[in-house]
Amino acid sequence: MSGRLVDRRILVVGAGTRPSDEPDPPVGNGRAIAVAAAREGAHVICADVDEAAAGQSAELARKEGGTAEVITADLADAGQCEALPGRAGAIDGIVLNAGIGAGFALAGTSAEEWDRVFAVNLRAHFLICKAALPLLGEGGSIVFIGSVAGLRPGSLIPAYDASKAGLVGLTRHVALEGAGLGVRSNLIAPGLIDTPLGREASRHWKHRGRVRVPMGRQGTAWEVASAAVFLLSREASYITGQVLAVDGGLTLV
């Protein structure tokens, strides 16, 4: 097989897609990234708290002619986060896609909700990187999936916004520590992306449908995946510590 990720083992954390009752639901970012990496020749390790969802992503990757396996992990559990890179075996790249939101505005967010969001959205990423950095060799790449909510307020979920902003700082720190090891670290900040989670958010937060995107449409998970594949590949060998907004120009307005 030819492709940009041939002979590379890529761990995609948050590789499943939230179940949907829609007849033809869109794909989620994690699943699209797993499938796109497989198309480019990678062996993909699909990790998710939902084993069935991860298994569906792995099966789609195999249908594209790639190879894939499944690992279950609960990112709210610190021990499971620390063990995850070792369980994945030899890896050349990691995509950290998992994230949750809880609470609404400052007054509607409890300390427990704040801590739960930070545990999954930021602490887990820190622990996985801490364990993975010694295992990734020269040419290794870590790709964080953040959000434009970490660059500008807008989700109305303060714990989500703050945790995604924290990922920017973590990305840059990992880039600095990883540079001497030949490991790169970058962050993708998706804007309004048409995923099952995005559609659910639209049903709950009516303001989402009124957001003006300069390019006039929502993005797709496949567009996020294309950026992730590039940053995982050797084509991005001199890019580290950067934030790439995949947002149709949303951060321009």
pLDDT digits (tens, 9 = 90+) for 14-40: 999 877 777 788 889 999 999 999 999
CB atoms within 10 A of CB 157: 24
55-59: average pLDDT: 97
Identify whether 2 is part of a domain: no
Q: Record the pTM.
A: 0.94
In the numeric block, the tokens 């996020």 are attached to 224
Identify whether 40 is part of a domain: yes
pLDDT digits (tens, 9 = 90+) for 231-253: 999 999 999 999 999 999 999 98
Identify whether 3 is part of a domain: no
Alpha-carbon Rg for the chain in angstroms:
17
Question: Which residues carry out catalysis?
Answer: 160
68-97: average pLDDT: 97
Identify whether 142 is part of a domain: yes
Dist CA 184 CA 202 (whole Å): 34
Identify whether 220 is part of a domain: yes
| Tokens describing residue 229 | 């594949």
Identify whether 100 is part of a domain: yes
The number of folded domains in the chain is: 1
What's the domain range around 192?
9-252
Query: Cβ(38)–Cβ(215) under 8 Å?
Result: no
pLDDT value of residue 236: 98
Residue 249 CB contacts under 8 Å (≥ 6 apart), including other chains: 213, 214, 215
Q: Domain with 143 in it: what CATH number?
A: 3.40.50.720
Dist CA 248 CA 250 (whole Å): 6
pLDDT value of residue 202: 65
